[in-house]
Amino acid sequence: MRYTLLSLGIVLLTSCQKDAPPPVPAFAGRWHGETSATLSYTALDGTYIGRTADYGPQLNLVVTADSLLFYDPRTNAKFANSESYARQGNTLTLGSRRSAFIDELADHRLVIRYPGHPANLPYLEYEYGFSR
C-alpha cells in the first residue's frame, strides 16, 4: 500500500510538469533566396507607403558563427558584400557598422530587413526572404 501511494504521487507530480519551451530555430546554416523586396516610407513622418513587387531570389546566404556570406543563386559565385556580424536577439550589427533585423526566424524560413536611413527624405528598406 505504501509503495502504491508513493508511485501514485510520482505519477501525479510528473504529469503536472509544464512542457519545455520549443527549441529556438538555428540561424546558422545555408539559406536559399526566395524573395526580395523594397519597402517605401514617407519623408515627413516615416509612414509606410508600400512594398514593391517581389524581385525573386536575388541571393543565397550562408550564416556562420560570425559571418554572413552571400552567393549568386544562379552561378553560386560569392558576392563581395559578405561581412562579419554580431547578433543580439533579432538585431544584427554588421561589420560595416550598419544594422539589420531578423523579422522572422523559423526552422525553414528566415526574413532579414535592412533599414533605410531617414533624413527628412523618403527612404527605403530592403527585405530578403530565405528558406531551407
118 has pLDDT over 70: no
Question: All 3 cell numbers of residue 14?
Answer: 510528473
CA-to-CA distance for 97 and 91, rounded, in angstroms?
12
Q: What is the mean pLDDT of the chain?
A: 84
**Per-residue pLDDT tens digits for 27-78:** 999 999 999 998 888 877 778 888 876 787 888 999 999 999 999 988 989 9
Measure CA 74 to chain center. Answer: 23
11 has pLDDT over 60: no
Give pLDDT, residue 1: 56
Question: All 3 cell numbers of residue 20?
Answer: 519545455
Task: Give all domains of the chain, ordered by start, each with its CATH number.
Answer: 27-131 (2.40.128.20)
Whole-structure pTM value = 0.77
Q: Do 81 and 71 form a contact (C-beta atoms < 8 A)?
A: no
**Per-residue pLDDT tens digits for 83-110:** 899 999 999 999 877 899 999 999 999 9
Residues of the chain with pLDDT > 70, as a percent, come to 84
Contacts of 74 (CB under 8 A, 6+ apart): none
3 has pLDDT over 60: no
Which carries the bigger pLDDT value, residue 126 or residue 117? Answer: 126
pLDDT band at 7 (very low <50, low <70, confident <90, very high): low
